[in-house]
Amino acid sequence: MAKAHRRPAWIEVDRTVLERNALKMANVVAPSVLCAVVKADGYGHGAIESAKAFVKGGAHWLAVAVVEEGIELRRAGIDEPILLLSEPLGGGMEEAVVHKLVPTIYTHEGIVQLVQATKKLGSQGESTQFHIKVDTGMHRVGCAPGQLVDLVELASQFREITLSGLWTHFALADDLSSDFSRAQISQFDAVVDQALTGVNQTVVVHMANSAAAGRYEEARRDMVRCGISLYGYSPIDGPEEPTFESAMALKARVSFVKEVPENSGLSYGHQYVTEHQTTIATVPIGYADGVPRRYGSCGGHVLIGGKPCRVVGAVTMDQLLVDCGRVTKVQVGDEVVLLGSQGDEKITARDWAKWLSVITYEVVCGFTGRLPRIWVN
């Protein structure tokens, strides 16, 4: 808590909420295994503590985007299997072998590099596990469906490596108007059946992300990779009530209060001019912390004294201004909630996404490391 007192702006994350979300998802997708995605510093929540909470809640695997994220988890003493969601580049393959990460491969060069890294750095007599990703329509990374058999056959020639997984990723699982995911499932099934003919070892097949895990039971297979749902946010934009609890709150404290007369321009550019005399509170958080400069101009609010109050003027690097005209007795030190609950009011990441015309992923991943993460419960 010391950091929060020195700089009164912080993020609170409830670890018991993360545990409950993981337990709920694990029960939903059973008997499939739950892989919790903790890339991007645990979607802005904090990767290490999020990973520990998800494992306690029932996740058997973890997934990250880059080698450095996997190393961070290993150095924190996390021993669960960690899947790298992209093929490591440069020296990343060697780091993956050293830290016993499970790389995703989708090129011939990747297989050769993994073999070479294992020969150089792997444990004596122990092969390196890896997964192959197939591109069935996302067109981001992954081998073409027609290349899968060749990659599997190439990998089978080397005792240093072991194919332990095959996977793909949905492009439109969160689009309720699209059935493209079923076409991806069919294409993936066809090439997987062909590629695994004659393969004797156990190969984990997985394709479902958070959206697909809920919509397509047939996509769950041996494992599901869930990210945004575990943090409490729906991957599908719609009016339905959220299935999981949000674990993050963004808070600060009022640092200055002043009475401002009518027709006063506020902040840089005087983008906002007061219509009448009002109370303006300064809050020590800004775009360097992840609150966009346009947050006020697009309708963004905060909660003070249990009341929604409008952010006004351009958000600056370290501070923003709030019109507290409807709130009485605002004073320095009062709690400000930018994300979360206060009294009977609540501001959600979905509210932010609506105001800013973005998605909830961008909101929670956008808060910077300058904000300390404080774990509660």
At 1 the pLDDT is 41
pTM for the model stands at: 0.94
Check residue 7 and give its pLDDT: 79
The domains found in the chain, sorted by start residue, are 15-231 (3.20.20.10), 248-347 (2.40.37.10)
258 is catalytic: no
How many angstroms separate the CA atoms of 241 and 234, rounded?
9
Residue pLDDT, tens place only, 239-275: 555 589 999 999 999 999 999 999 999 999 999 999 9
For 178-200, how does the pLDDT look when each residue is reduced to its tens digit (9 = 90+)?
Answer: 999 999 999 999 999 999 998 88
- Annotated catalytic residue: which of 3, 119, 258, 268? 268
pLDDT at residue 3 is higher than 50: no
Q: Residue 176: is its pLDDT beyond 50?
A: yes
Q: What is the mean pLDDT of the chain?
A: 94
User: Residue 239: what pLDDT?
Assistant: 55
- Per-residue model confidence (pLDDT) at position 2: 41
Is the preceding peptide bond at 31 cis, omega within 30 degrees of 0? yes
Catalytically annotated residue among 39, 52, 133, 251: 39
Give the Cβ contact number of residue 343 at 10 Å: 10
Q: Is 268 a catalytic residue?
A: yes
Instruction: Give 7-36 pLDDT, tens digit per residue.
Output: 799 999 999 999 999 999 999 999 999 999
Residues 62, 51 contacting (CB under 8 angstroms): yes
